[in-house]
Each structure stands twice: as C-alpha cells, then as structure tokens.
Chain A
Amino acid sequence: MNRPAPPSRDITDDELHALVDGQLAPDRRSAVEEALAHDPAMAAKVAAWHTQRDALRRLHGELLHDPVPAPLTSALDRHLPRQARRSSWMRWGGMAAGVLVAFAAGWLGNAQWSASRSPAAVLAKAPAMREFVHDASIAHVVYAPEKRHPVEVAASEQQHLVQWLSKRLDRPLKVPDLSTLGYTLVGGRLLPGETGARAQFMFEDAVGERVTLYIGTLDARAAGSPPDALKETAFRFASEGPVPSFYWVDQGFGYAVAGKLPRDVLLKLATLAYRDLS
C-alpha cells in the first residue's frame, strides 16, 4: 500500500453514529466520507449499522398504520372531558369528547360496537380474554392446514354438528352464514378450553382459504375481573397470535374470527358473523 495514511484516526465513533443517524454536522460530513473511502473496515462497520438501522425502522411498522385499539382511545375519553372543564373551556370539552367518540367509532370499523367501551378497557388486561383469543388463533393454525381431517363433523351433517356442539357448550349455537362473502361451512369440532368446552367452526372460500369462528364461555370470576367486565364488549382486533383475529364478547360468551387474511377482509367476515349470530 503506497497510499498516504488514511485520515480515519481523526474520526470518532460518535461521528460514525451521527453519520448513520443523519445527525452529523454538515462540515464534518465530507471528512468522514473521505475517511470511509480509505478504510474498508470502518466502511464495513458503518454499512452494518446502516443495515441494522433500516431493519429496526421496519420493525413493527404496521403499528403506525393499524387502527388504535379502542381501550387506548377510551383511556383519553375517560380523562379528557374532565380536564377540559378544569381548564375552563367546558364548551369545547363536550365537543372534544364527541370528536373522540367519533374517532373511536371509526376505528372500530362500525359505530354499533362502540357501546360499553369501559369494560373493554378492563378486558385488555383480562388474562382470560387474552388466553381465549390466543387459543382461537392457535386452534386456527393447528386445524386450518389439515387436508384430510380439518373438522370432526362435516358440513353435510350440519344439523347434527350444531346440536352436538350446542349440547357440549351448554348453549344454543348457530352457524353464521358467510356465503355472501364466498365462504361456506366446512364443518366444526369440539376443543378443550381453560373454562370448559369450546367450539370451532371452519369456513372455506372457492380457492381453499380458510377462516375459523371460535366460541366459548368466559368465566369472569376465574379471570379475576369485575363481574360484568366480560359480559359484553366492543369489537376488537388481535394481531399477536400466529394469525390475526377479530373478537367480541356477548353475554359472557366469547367469539373470535381468525384467519390468515388481510385485516379488512377479516373485519367483513367478523361483521357478517356478528350480525348473523345476534
């Protein structure tokens, strides 16, 4: 190497970080870039940090676009009207609350589910509900890929299926009709849950894409939640399981519609199921 000694000795690690983060003072930029051109080891380090930074910036990027869960907006809703009054613009307080309700309703996708958001806030922390939604997601990934035995009782015996599962869950069940969205019943199965029997209905579209409806009792007392926390809730989206789901609680009974589908498609299916079941 006959080149003059690289000027990289003057360059500090802090400056390399600043370069990667776009925070380097403009007058140092050319000196640092010059040093990098002559120092492959340093250039490799900076390149690795760049790659790492880009990867980090993509991490959980979907959360920037996903709708905000209702319990988070209702946290604001509970506090802000009071704050607004205190800061003496009472007239606007009501309006801010109204805007917030409209916001929350919009996020929920449908205003009809915006009722009783306070229990939903409790629900976010209710272990029973987490577990229920997680179970629904797991049950989906376990059975949905099955070619030969996706269900215990096939759709051809729908009447028997419904009677059997209703008896085991101790509650009259109904199979929602999702055919307007192109999904027909494959069948159903009985599954064990933390608080007793659970049922899974499986549906399939023309290309074989499957979606499941998972149903079961939620025991509010066992979950350590206030007695009425799990009676009825807003419609909510869960993305932390292996497949996403929309879920809701109606009269102490939990429902989760799970599938490896885009959020809007899943919402439509869940909406249809909800309407058909209630």
Chain B
Amino acid sequence: MDARLLVDHIPSLRRYARALTGNAWAADDLVQDTLERACSKWRLWVVGSDLRAWLFTVMHNIFASQVRRTPPPHAVVPLDDATHELHGGIDPGSDQGTGLDLQRCLLQLPEEQRAVLLLVTLEDMSYAEVAKVLGIPAGTVMSRLSRARVRLQELLDGATAPHRPGLRRLK
C-alpha cells in the first residue's frame, strides 16, 4: 500500500475526532489509534473501495469501544470549560468564543447523534455512507440527524441567551 493515501486523510480525521471528543489530546490519540489499527488491518480494506469511509469506520469502532469502556463522557467538560473561560478572558467576542460554545453544546449531544451530525456536516458524507460507516440503518441516520439538529439548536439558543438562572423555565 501507499502511505501517502493514508496521509491525505489525516487532517480530516483529526478535525472529526476533535469535534467528536472536544479535546485535542484525546482526538489525536484517537487518530493515532485509528492509523495504527488501519495499518495492521490493511488487508481488510478492499482496494479501490472508498478509503475515507473505511478509515472513518475504523475510527468509529475504536471510539465506540472507548465510550463503552469509559462511561463518564462529561469528564472532559470541566477542562473545556476552563479553556473556554481563559479564551473568553483574552479575546472576548471573537469567533473563537462562538466556536467553543458550539463545541461545548456538541458535547452535550449523545455520542451517536453527534457522530451522525458531524459525518454529514463536517465530512459531507451522503446519508447512505454514514449508515455504512456507523453500521446503522438509513432510517436511524435520519432520525439521529433530526434529533441532533433540533437539540443542538436548543442548546445553542440557550448558550447565547443571557444567563439568568431565576428566569429558567421548568418543563
């Protein structure tokens, strides 16, 4: 095989992993594990088939097993909040700030919804490709996508609204 084929996909794997985990170190660890797994299972890739889809499948399987092993997904949140505060302190109102809000809200989505939303938007994958990568039926892709978009919108609207705990509405 040609290493350069794989190398071309590293930047998009890194971006997806970063958005999925919300943590730069965890993301690069995930990419590294993916590359190592891909190298050792290289013969499972059917030459001529979509390499990108295969790599994302490998990454998804690793991520899913990590999530199963480490149940508290919110363990990363405090760190991100800390980073967020520091960023806000230096450069308030910059685009960076909204990016961090977006990332924070993304992390509040269930993993399976986050994965669908990111593969569709960041990676521009077709719904059929997403179904294949995640190993789920096409109908499930659509329902997860729908729930992810609606929920993320609610979270974003909540994040940008002024924080007034007294006025929070209870369902």
Contacts and interface: CB of A to CB of B under 8 A. Distances in A.
A18 B156 CA distance: 22
Contacts of A100: 3, 7
Interface in B3-47: 3-4, 6-7, 10-12, 14-15, 18-19, 23-25, 28-29, 31-32, 35-36, 39-40, 42-43
Contacts of A143: none
A83 B83 CA distance: 41
B4 A99 contact: yes
Contacts of A141: 86, 89-90
Contacts, number: 129
Contact of A55 (B3, B31, B98, B124): B98
Given A52-B149, A52-B156, A71-B32, A242 B90 contact: yes
B141 to A, nearest CB: 10
A1 interface: no
B152 interface: yes
Interface of A: 13-14, 17-18, 21-23, 48-49, 52-53, 55-61, 63-66, 68-69, 71-73, 75-77, 79-80, 83-84, 87, 96-97, 99-100, 103, 121, 124-125, 130, 138, 141, 239-242, 260
Contacts of A83: 1, 39, 42
B1 A72 contact: no
Nearest to B118: A56
Contacts of B58: none
B39 A76 contact: yes
A161 to B, nearest CB: 27
Contacts of A79: 35-36, 39-40
B11 A65 contact: yes
B122 A76 contact: no
A52 B154 CA distance: 11
Contacts of B146: 13-14, 17
Interface string B86-118: 110110000100110011001000000000011
A14 B12 CA distance: 26
A80 B7 CA distance: 12
